[in-house]
Structures are given as C-alpha cells and as structure tokens.
A and B are shown apart, each in its own frame.
Chain A
C-alpha cells in the first residue's frame, strides 16, 4: 500500500498523502516516512487532502517526522490551511514541551546506593514491625478490661473460619505424614529387626514436632493469606480509615479477634492432628508390621514422656501469634494497588512459615537444654 507519493517540482519536494493515515497503520506509515528521499533545500509542500482518513496518530507521525533533521530546518507549506489534526497536535504538544518528558530519571545502578537503600528499608521495616507488635500488645492489654471490647462474637467467627473449617485438611495432612514416617522408618528399622521402634518414632515425632508444625504451616498458608488479603483490601477500600474516623480502634476490631481466634483455634487443630496422626501410625503398624493395636498402645505409653504431648501443644499458641501478626501486619501495609495486595499476601505467608520454623528450631534447642 502506498502512503505517500513524493514528487520534486521546482526543487521542492511535494508529498501527497494517500490511504488511511490512522493509528492502525502507524508502523507502515512510519516506515514510509523513513523511506522518503532526502528533501532538497528549497522546502516541502504537503497535501493531506488525498488521505482517505487522517487521525490524530497520523498527524502525530507526520509532525514527528517534520521535527527530525533535515526536515526541521526546511520551510513547510501545506495545501490550503494547516490540517486540523496537525494543528491540534501542535497546540497540544506546544513548543518546548518535549523537553520536560525527560525529567524524573531513575538514578543509574550503583551498588553502594542500593546496599544503603536496602539496609535502610530493612531497618525501617523491622522498626515498623516492632512498633506494630507493641501496638497490638497495648491494645490487647487495654481491651482485657472488659469482655465487650474483646469482641467475643468476632472471635468465635474467626475460630470457626480458621479452625473448624480447616479440620478436614489438617486431619488429612496429619494422617498422611504419620504414614510417611511409619513407612520410612519401617523400611530402615526392619534391617535391624527393630520394627517396634517405629511406634516410638511415630508417636514422638507426631506429638512433639510434626503434628503442630504441619498444622501451623497449613494454617499459615490458609489463614495467614486470608488475613493479609482481607485487611489489605479493606485498606485499599479505605475501610480502615473509615473505622478510625468513626473513633473505632481498627487494631481492636480487626486484629485482636483474628489473633485471639487463632490462638484458640491452632492448639485445638493441633490436638486433632495429634489424634489423627497417632491413629494413622497405629493403622500402618497393624497393616504393615503386624503390630496389633494393644501392643502399639503399650509401646506408645512407654515411649512418650508425660511432657511429650504438652511440648507439642504449647508451641501452637506461639505459632498462632506469629501467623496472625504477620498476616495482619502485611495486610495493613497494602497501599495503592492490587499488585501490592498480591505481593504483601505472598510475603505474609512466606514470612509466617519462616517464623514458625525459626521458632520451632529455637524451641527444639530450648527444650533440649531444659531437658523436657
């Protein structure tokens, strides 16, 4: 398709525009302009009327080309008046307005600067995190003076959402993990004829570590993300501001019930995970190792110390605090865009799982030192 017919008359380059000068053909029009012969020194004459359509994009392309050297130095005449589109482009962009496109440049890559910025960012993040934990603690202490300010109905809702509805998946995961330990240890211990120690491994493993740890990780993925997303979208919708403006403490209304709800729900879920885990272990021992149920129970009671069960259960509320606080904290940091919401929800989950594992490692060392 031809966009421009160029002829030279009396040293002047005459351009006759043809076809559809519209945004859909911008690529071809630009190529056609670039392929034009070098204009002489006597100037340009442009006829737009031959074009079947001449929209703003077409006008911009022509204007942009006319600003390039060597055309920029030439006198340009048009057939009749200046075409409307071209006039509008010139009015809009004006003289000298192109220069201000270049401001607000990013700084070039500089490792020292990057290190400094990242450090300051991390320190600020840490300080904000500490401040958040402090605010929640103070609000919690204040709210404890009356039952009404603890919002029991809201707490019940969160126990339901984070606890009761999670029972099937938590039970299933506990069942599967006990089967995995039993199977793995059975294949190893059978070589030594020490099959019976499978019972020790399953019961101690599930009760002390895996029951609570896997439950906490499941809940971090399930409820930590929900907290961040709920609070984050409320933040985007200015609902948090609306609460604060109404004189309602948003920490007290939104964060405390989630925190307390999860502190109640997670130990209960851990208890369920323990029971199902032990049942799964017993089932596998019976089927795979021919250890009857009675023998499993006898062996299990001698394998576990009286504290084994409580060591697992006591970790649950600590993990609950870590999960609830990271979820709510990241949710409150959401600002401006839906991408932020996604980023901070991801961060909430990753961080709460990391904190849970870190705390579990610290607990393992602590419990070994105090010998329980």
Chain B
C-alpha cells in the first residue's frame, strides 16, 4: 500500500490579487502526526480547506491515499470524503442534534446500519474520546468547551477513517485540558494507527504530539522532522520556536534528539 497519505503538489491559491499559496508542496506519510504552523493570515485554513476538497485550488494537485481529489466528480468526492475525519476550530457540532446524533450522522449518511449497531458504535466512540455515557443525550449548548472538542473528535472518528484532520484542536482550552487533549490525540493515533494532520498554534501541542512539522512561510511550506525544523534559519521559524514563548523548548545542544519541554 502507498505510504504517502497526503500528497500536495504545487498548490496555488489566490483571492483576487492576493496570492496565498504559490506552489506549495506537502507530504504526509502513513502514521505521521503532522503539525501545520504559520502566522495569522498565512493560509493555514485555506490549505486545510483545499486538502479537504472544500475548495479547488487555482493550480496544483491534492492526493489523499493516492487519489487526486482535485479532479474527482461530486459523487467520487463524496466517497473520498468518507475516508477522512475532520474537526473544526470551534467544534462545529450540529446544535440541533444531541451528541449521539452528531456522532451517528456520518454513519447514517454513508452507511446503512441497524439502530442498535448505530447506538453501540456511537457509545464506543463517545467513550473512546473520554466522554461520560450521559453526555450522549446532551445538546452541544450544554457542553463545556473541552467536551465540545472531544465530541467533535468522536464525530470525526465515526467512520473509522485512517486519516484525521484537526483544525486548532487545543485552542480555547485551559493548559490542563489542552494537555489532556494532546494525550488523547497521541493515544488514539497510536491505538487506531491514524495519520493525523493538525493545524495548531500551540507549541505544547506540537512538542507533545507531532513528529513532523510544516511551516507556511512566504507562501511556501518548509517541512522537516520536529527535531530539525527548530534549527531552520528562516527568521519567522527562528522567532516562532525561539521567541519569548518558544524559548523554553530550545534543546540544550543542537544535536540532541526530540526536545521535550515538559
């Protein structure tokens, strides 16, 4: 089987005269936890929307598990979309549905399953992301921020996808909840053999979960292993990892292995 799960080649995204991506390349191998980093307005969300097939780029190709999604017709694209799970920054749970119904929605749309299997699988996913069973019948408005993120993750895992996209999974969480969420992602990634692509600003998240990091600078992407990218000479990358907030992560000597700040 092909080991490249996400293969982005020469993506160009333009809004009017504003060029966001100019020939951006990115590859994610099976089993990677890939962090996408970049300044505000550098086009992280646009890149994610392009990879998800929600937006067609002006040029370039996006391959998910070897399938070029930029050339698919709507029916094929629908099938391709069942092969990944995604969580959005603010959860994007359907507010009119309970947590259980939210988790069941992708299964109902893509599969024909008996009701008790639906309930059983929904409960399994709910427990898997660490939510109590009584959260199943609550509405999103009754949940805390951390629970919403977990419920969104459970919905993303509904179809047991091999590939998971997370948009700012820890934003808006307190440091303890954020650390717990990072651990959850690492646990699920290991247990379910997932490939994870996540957009994040959170340096703790990157060092706790990611093994590969792609930084969007100057409309391109610099990709490297986490241990090496912190020494990349680009000024933005330097100030990101070694600025006031990043300083505590600096490895003691450049040649040591993966730096763990915590």
The interface of chain A, by Cβ under 8 A from chain B, is: 22-24, 26-27, 30, 55-57, 60-61, 64, 84, 88-89, 92-94, 97, 100-101, 103-104, 335-339
Structural contact, A88 and B191, CB atoms closer than 8 A: yes
Q: Report the separation of the CA atoms of residues A124 and B110 in the bound assembly, to the nearest whole angstrom.
A: 43
> Chain B interface residue count: which class?
20 to 34
Chain B residues 96-127 with CB under 8 Å of chain A are 96, 107, 110-114, 117, 120-121, 123-124, 127
Q: Chain A residues near B120: list those with CB within 8 A.
A: 60, 64
Structural contact, A30 and B114, CB atoms closer than 8 A: yes
B192 interface residue, CB < 8 Å from A? Answer: yes
**Among B96, B132, B139, B192: residue with most chain A CB under 10 A:** B96
Q: Chain A residues near B107: list those with CB within 8 A.
A: 23
B137 shortest CB reach to chain A, Å:
6
Q: Report the separation of the CA atoms of residues A191 and B160 in the bound assembly, to the nearest whole angstrom.
A: 78
Chain B residues 133-173 with CB under 8 Å of chain A are 133-134, 136-137, 139-142, 157, 159-160
Q: Report the separation of the CA atoms of residues A179 and B239 in the bound assembly, to the nearest whole angstrom.
A: 75
Structural contact, B127 and A100, CB atoms closer than 8 A: no
Q: Chain A residues near B71: list those with CB within 8 A.
A: none
25 A-B contact pairs sorted by A residue (CB < 8 Å): A23-B107, A24-B110, A26-B111, A26-B113, A27-B112, A30-B117, A56-B160, A84-B191, A92-B127, A92-B128, A94-B127, A97-B127, A97-B133, A100-B132, A100-B134, A101-B123, A101-B133, A104-B134, A336-B95, A336-B140, A336-B142, A337-B96, A337-B140, A337-B141, A339-B96
Assess A337 versus B113: contact at CB under 8 Å? Given A23-B159, A23-B160, A93-B124: no
Q: Chain A residues near B140: list those with CB within 8 A.
A: 336-337
Q: Report the separation of the CA atoms of residues A94 and B121 in the bound assembly, to the nearest whole angstrom.
A: 14
Q: Chain B residues near A24: list those with CB within 8 A.
A: 110-111, 159
Assess A22 versus B160: contact at CB under 8 Å? Given A27-B113, A103-B134: yes
Chain B residues 180-219 with CB under 8 Å of chain A are 191-192
Structural contact, A89 and B111, CB atoms closer than 8 A: no
B90 shortest CB reach to chain A, Å:
12
Q: Report the separation of the CA atoms of residues A337 and B117 in the bound assembly, to the nearest whole angstrom.
A: 28
Q: Report the separation of the CA atoms of residues A54 and B107 in the bound assembly, to the nearest whole angstrom.
A: 17
Q: Report the separation of the CA atoms of residues A104 and B159 in the bound assembly, to the nearest whole angstrom.
A: 27
Residue of B nearest to A58 (CB): B160
Q: Chain B residues near A93: list those with CB within 8 A.
A: 123-124, 127
Q: Chain A residues near B114: list those with CB within 8 A.
A: 27, 30
A173 shortest CB reach to chain B, Å:
34
Assess A337 versus B95: contact at CB under 8 Å? Given A55-B160, A100-B134: yes
A-B contacts besides A23-B160, A27-B112, A100-B133, 12 pairs, CB < 8 Å: A26-B111, A56-B192, A84-B191, A92-B128, A93-B127, A100-B132, A101-B123, A103-B133, A335-B141, A336-B140, A337-B141, A338-B96
Q: Chain B residues near A101: list those with CB within 8 A.
A: 123, 133, 136
Q: Report the separation of the CA atoms of residues A84 and B139 in the bound assembly, to the nearest whole angstrom.
A: 32
Q: Chain B residues near A64: list those with CB within 8 A.
A: 120
Q: Report the separation of the CA atoms of residues A132 and B218 in the bound assembly, to the nearest whole angstrom.
A: 55
Residue of B nearest to A64 (CB): B120
Assess A337 versus B121: contact at CB under 8 Å? Given A92-B128, A93-B127, A103-B134: no
Q: Report the separation of the CA atoms of residues A64 and B116 in the bound assembly, to the nearest whole angstrom.
A: 11
Assess A26 versus B117: contact at CB under 8 Å? Given A336-B95, A337-B139, A338-B96: yes
Q: Report the separation of the CA atoms of residues A337 and B96 in the bound assembly, to the nearest whole angstrom.
A: 6
Q: Chain B residues near A60: list those with CB within 8 A.
A: 120-121, 124
Residue of A nearest to B118 (CB): A26
A97 shortest CB reach to chain B, Å:
7
Q: Chain A residues near B112: list those with CB within 8 A.
A: 27
Q: Report the separation of the CA atoms of residues A203 and B73 in the bound assembly, to the nearest whole angstrom.
A: 62
Residue of A nearest to B110 (CB): A24
Structural contact, B133 and A339, CB atoms closer than 8 A: no
Q: Report the separation of the CA atoms of residues A338 and B139 in the bound assembly, to the nearest whole angstrom.
A: 12
Q: Chain B residues near A89: list those with CB within 8 A.
A: 124
Q: Report the separation of the CA atoms of residues A91 and B175 in the bound assembly, to the nearest whole angstrom.
A: 26
Residue of A nearest to B106 (CB): A23
Residue of A nearest to B142 (CB): A336
Q: Report the separation of the CA atoms of residues A93 and B192 in the bound assembly, to the nearest whole angstrom.
A: 16
A320 shortest CB reach to chain B, Å:
32
Assess A23 versus B111: contact at CB under 8 Å? Given A30-B117, A97-B133, A336-B141: yes
Structural contact, B124 and A92, CB atoms closer than 8 A: yes
Residue of B nearest to A91 (CB): B191
B25 shortest CB reach to chain A, Å:
30
A324 shortest CB reach to chain B, Å:
27
Q: Report the separation of the CA atoms of residues A22 and B159 in the bound assembly, to the nearest whole angstrom.
A: 9
A56 shortest CB reach to chain B, Å:
5
B127 shortest CB reach to chain A, Å:
5
B262 shortest CB reach to chain A, Å:
25
Assess A57 versus B160: contact at CB under 8 Å? Given A93-B127, A97-B127, A101-B133: yes
Assess A338 versus B95: contact at CB under 8 Å? Given A23-B111, A26-B113, A55-B160: yes
Q: Chain A residues near B134: list those with CB within 8 A.
A: 100, 103-104
Structural contact, B139 and A336, CB atoms closer than 8 A: yes
Q: Chain A residues near B127: list those with CB within 8 A.
A: 92-94, 97
Q: Report the separation of the CA atoms of residues A88 and B124 in the bound assembly, to the nearest whole angstrom.
A: 10
A38 shortest CB reach to chain B, Å:
22
Q: Chain A residues near B128: list those with CB within 8 A.
A: 56, 88, 92
User: Would you list the 9 A-B pairs with minimal beta carbon distance, nearest first?
Assistant: A336-B141, A337-B95, A339-B96, A55-B160, A92-B127, A100-B133, A92-B128, A23-B160, A337-B96
